[in-house]
Amino acid sequence: MNAVNMMTIDEEGQSVRGFRVGIRAQGRKMLLPCKGRPLYTGEQALKVLESYAAKRPGVETHAITVSEFAGHEVLTLAEMRELYGNEVAA
Model pLDDT for residues 58-80, shown as the tens digit of each residue: 899 999 999 888 889 999 999 99
Q: Residue 67: is it exposed, middle or buried by C-beta count within 10 angstroms (0-12/13-18/19+)?
A: middle
Instruction: Inform me whether the pLDDT recorded for 89 exceeds 70.
Output: no
Q: What are 43-53's pLDDT values in tens digits?
A: 999 999 999 99
Q: What is the mean pLDDT of residues 11-39?
A: 94
Mean pLDDT of all residues in 13-27: 94
Higher-confidence residue: 2 or 61?
Answer: 61
Q: What is the pLDDT of residue 54?
A: 96
Q: Give the contacts of 5 (CB within 8 A, at least 6 positions apart).
A: 17, 66, 67, 68
